[in-house]
């Protein structure tokens, strides 16, 4: 099995290099990438399914010429589960990219895009397999830098350059915390191998904090998320789908990988994760609701879904110290949401890319009536919108259903030994309900403003559905949303084997019977949703039958006294969000540092509800401005004289000697 893992990594690299070598023949280069990605994914799928089916973990050690660390690859249940989104989504995204880039105005640079796309995908798989601290950081850097070059694909634009630098700074600040974490573990445990980190060397709490910051910067925890709404609008749409759907999950994987190495999970870890989940879930969906850039909205929605995953992880920490299936349900729900979010968010980004390429703008308030011109894309996008809102029987409901069950179980009167699970359960239930309602409102706004109504401008007056090279990948992802939702009962039983073996859950020997009961309940919910959908379809067919043979006249919609309606009379995305924004008016006023911006957008009767990010506006910008001022003052030490630099060296040696004596 180790051979297939190495072959998969090698195929990602070789197909990327082959695409780069075909610079003079971009048509051939674009074909190499998707087929290379599909072949590499098939190779990796063999050991992944073997491990998930109950096989022994795959382990590979090889000679390493560096004086520290080791070349150690390890595939266990946790890494195999996180490898599933990489294997499923990356080939679909690659095939979509061939059509997307063919219609792009820069076909000569598609070879570089294909190379870095393969390097990003291989880097993600490398991260999941690395079982040595230094090897992990190497894989992490390959993944991060590949994503940077994909973000700055259109590097001539100032907005893209800014997004690239923000991403680069954010990812390396996170890497700095990870470097400190591995140095601390290596010094305590005497090795950088994950197998020697058992118990985290007595510094579990410090390591957890470093992991939350370091991996949270990649996952997009609220407060560390500032690169997401900048990078995703700048990157090509298929790259955005891969980064938002798959790459940010490596942050969740890294955090879980560190947690499972600990001997115990303190209750305050659970509160930290639940706090992050509340901030990310509510903050992400509120900021998504006020955006009028389609891809920026989807980026904030990813922050929201990362919050849902963190809520599940937090409840799982509480469940370790309580009775019942709380830990198992919560962990299984979080892991299922990792997989399902990768599918429906990639579908949304690819669908949005088709719309943006057809109409030529990401501005929601300039669109409208796109469904009439792109009916196939509209139907697929609508299905993905229903999935992201967590509506049964689609896949977005499966993971949230288990997290709800874990929370409900924790608040039942069962004599739990601690008050933490009860309070945490109430908090998680309330937060999930609020997130679900706001998400439904957000994506009702998106679909209504973009696809329904009348065109608000001349953008995309000749837009049509894309060809099969772009529409088939979106169709496959939308079908997976339905398949994973309908087969949610089977997915629950599959993920249970992963969740039940995560340390310290394995020490508790959880009872699997409640999960089987939950699977049966979910099956009933799915059947009820299907019956409801069948009833609606039956009524629609009955209407057609009753009208058969009759004269059906059509006319314009009643205009409420306005016989010549204009697009200005319909809701825009901004005006749709205005009522909910009023509820958070005080928060936004404090962020903007002044009164509510009541000005109207030119030519449209809608309020300006797009706001700058709170952390970027109030924290990061002033912080880096202060660092810049300090750096300018420190330039004075560069005198240009050799004798001055020799003096600096002498001072450094004296400092080292004093430190060694102390």
The beta-carbon contacts of 622-628 under 8 Å, at least 24 apart in sequence, are: 624/169
Does 15 have pLDDT greater than 60? yes
Most confident of 102-111, 241-250, 546-555, 561-570: 241-250
**What confidence category does residue 598 fall into, taking pLDDT thresholds of 50, 70 and 90?**
very low
How confident is the model over 634-645, as a mean pLDDT? 74
For the chain, which residues make up each domain, given as ranges?
615-662
Does 87 have pLDDT greater than 90? yes
Among 77-81, 176-180, 362-366, 401-405, the range scoring the smallest mean pLDDT is: 362-366
45: region left, alpha or beta (phi > 0 left; psi from -120 to 50 alpha): alpha
The Cα 197–Cα 206 span in angstroms is 14
Residue 595 burial (10 A CB sphere; 0-12, 13-18, 19+) = exposed
Does 565 have pLDDT greater than 90? no
The Cα 50–Cα 260 span in angstroms is 22
Tens digits of per-residue pLDDT, 445-468? Answer: 999 888 887 777 777 677 888 888
Helix, strand, coil shares, percent, the chain, to 5: 75, 5, 25
**What confidence category does residue 55 fall into, taking pLDDT thresholds of 50, 70 and 90?**
confident
DSSP-derived secondary structure letter, 42: H
Tokens of 370: 């796109």
Tokens of 534: 């069948």
**What confidence category does residue 413 fall into, taking pLDDT thresholds of 50, 70 and 90?**
low
The Cα 369–Cα 372 span in angstroms is 6
Percent of the chain with pLDDT over 90: 46
Sign, Cα dihedral of 525, 529, 534, 535:
positive
How confident is the model over 19-39, as a mean pLDDT? 78
The Cα 375–Cα 476 span in angstroms is 17
Residue with tokens 């109950």: 54
Report angle CA 495, 217, 136 to the nearest 5 degrees: 65
DSSP-derived secondary structure letter, 556: P
Tens digits of per-residue pLDDT, 149-170? Answer: 999 988 878 888 888 999 999 9
Does 639 have pLDDT greater than 70? no
The Cα 449–Cα 297 span in angstroms is 13
How confident is the model over 506-525, as a mean pLDDT? 81
The Cα 518–Cα 506 span in angstroms is 20
The answer to whether the peptide bond before residue 393 is cis (omega within 30 degrees of 0) is yes
Does 562 have pLDDT greater than 80? no
Report angle CA 540, 541, 543 to the nearest 5 degrees: 65
pTM above the 0.75 mark? yes
User: In angstroms, how far apart are the furthest CA atoms of the chain?
Assistant: 101
Q: What DSSP element (H or E) covers 102? A: helix 77-102
The Cα 462–Cα 391 span in angstroms is 33
Q: Which residues 6+ apart lie within 8 Å of 449 measured at CB?
A: 364, 365, 367, 368, 571, 572, 573, 576
Q: What is the mean pLDDT of the chain?
A: 85
């Amino acid at each position: 099995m180790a051979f297939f893992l190495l072959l998969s990594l090698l195929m990602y690299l070789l197909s990327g290099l082959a695409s780069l070598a075909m610079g003079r023949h971009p048509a051939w280069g674009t074909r190499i990438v998707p087929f290379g990605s599909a072949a590499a994914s098939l190779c990796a799928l063999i050991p992944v399914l073997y491990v998930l089916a109950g096989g022994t973990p795959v382990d590979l050690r090889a000679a390493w010429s560096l004086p520290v660390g080791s070349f150690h690859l390890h595939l266990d249940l946790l890494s195999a589960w996180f490898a599933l989104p990489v294997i499923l989504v990356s080939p679909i995204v690659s095939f979509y990219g061939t059509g997307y880039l063919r219609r792009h105005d820069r076909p000569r640079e598609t070879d570089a895009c294909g190379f870095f796309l393969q390097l990003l995908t291989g880097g993600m798989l490398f991260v999941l397999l690395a079982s040595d601290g230094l090897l992990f950081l190497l894989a992490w850097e390959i993944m991060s830098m590949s994503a940077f070059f994909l973000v700055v694909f259109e590097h001539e634009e100032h907005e893209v350059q800014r997004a690239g630098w923000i991403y680069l700074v954010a990812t390396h600040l996170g890497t700095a915390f990870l470097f400190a974490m591995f140095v601390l573990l290596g010094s305590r445990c005497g090795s950088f191998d994950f197998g020697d980190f058992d118990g985290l060397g007595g510094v579990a709490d410090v390591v957890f904090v470093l992991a939350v910051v370091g991996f949270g910067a990649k996952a997009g925890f609220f407060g560390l998320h500032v690169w997401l709404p900048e990078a995703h609008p700048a990157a090509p749409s298929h790259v955005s789908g891969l980064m938002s759907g798959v790459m940010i999950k490596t942050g969740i994987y890294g955090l879980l990988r560190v947690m499972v190495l600990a001997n115990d999970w303190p209750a305050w870890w659970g509160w930290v994760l639940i706090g992050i989940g509340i901030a990310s879930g509510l903050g992400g969906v509120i900021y998504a609701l006020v955006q009028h850039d389609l891809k920026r909205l989807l980026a904030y929605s990813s922050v929201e879904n990362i919050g849902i995953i963190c809520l599940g992880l937090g409840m799982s920490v509480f469940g370790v110290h309580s009775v019942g299936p709380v830990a198992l349900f919560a962990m299984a729900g979080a892991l299922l949401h990792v997989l399902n979010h990768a599918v429906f968010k990639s579908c949304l980004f690819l669908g949005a890319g088709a719309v943006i390429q057809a109409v030529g703008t990401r501005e929601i308030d300039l669109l409208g009536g796109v469904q009439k011109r792109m009916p196939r894309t509209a139907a697929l996008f609508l299905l993905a919108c229903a999935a992201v809102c967590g509506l049964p029987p689609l896949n977005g409901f499966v993971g949230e259903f288990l997290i709800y069950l874990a929370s409900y179980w924790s608040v039942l009167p069962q004599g739990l030994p601690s008050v933490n699970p009860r309070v945490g359960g109430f908090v998680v239930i309330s937060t999930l309900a609020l997130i679900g309602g706001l998400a439904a409102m957000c994506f009702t706004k998106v679909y209504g403003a973009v696809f329904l109504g009348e065109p608000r401008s001349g953008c995309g007056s000749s837009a049509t559905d894309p060809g099969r090279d772009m529409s088939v990948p979106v169709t496959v992802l939308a079908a997976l949303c339905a398949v994973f939702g309908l087969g949610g009962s089977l997915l629950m039983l599959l993920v249970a084997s992963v969740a039940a073996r995560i340390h310290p859950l394995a020490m508790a020997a959880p009872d699997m019977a409640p999960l089987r009961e939950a699977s049966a309940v979910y099956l009933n919910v799915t059947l009820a949703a299907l019956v409801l959908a069948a009833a609606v379809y039956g009524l629609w067919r009955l209407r057609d039958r009753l009208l058969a043979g009759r004269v059906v006249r059509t006319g314009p919609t009643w205009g409420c006294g306005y016989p010549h309606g204009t697009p200005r009379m319909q809701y825009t995305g901004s005006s749709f969000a205005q009522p909910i924004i009023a509820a958070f008016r005080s928060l936004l006023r404090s962020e903007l540092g002044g009164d509510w911006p009541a000005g109207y957008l030119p030519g449209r009767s809608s309020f300006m509800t797009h706001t700058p990010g709170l952390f970027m506006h109030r924290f990061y910008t002033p912080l880096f401005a202060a660092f810049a001022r300090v750096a300018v003052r420190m330039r004075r030490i560069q005198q240009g004289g050799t004798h001055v630099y020799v003096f600096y060296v002498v001072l450094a040696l004296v400092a080292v000697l004093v430190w060694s004596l102390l």
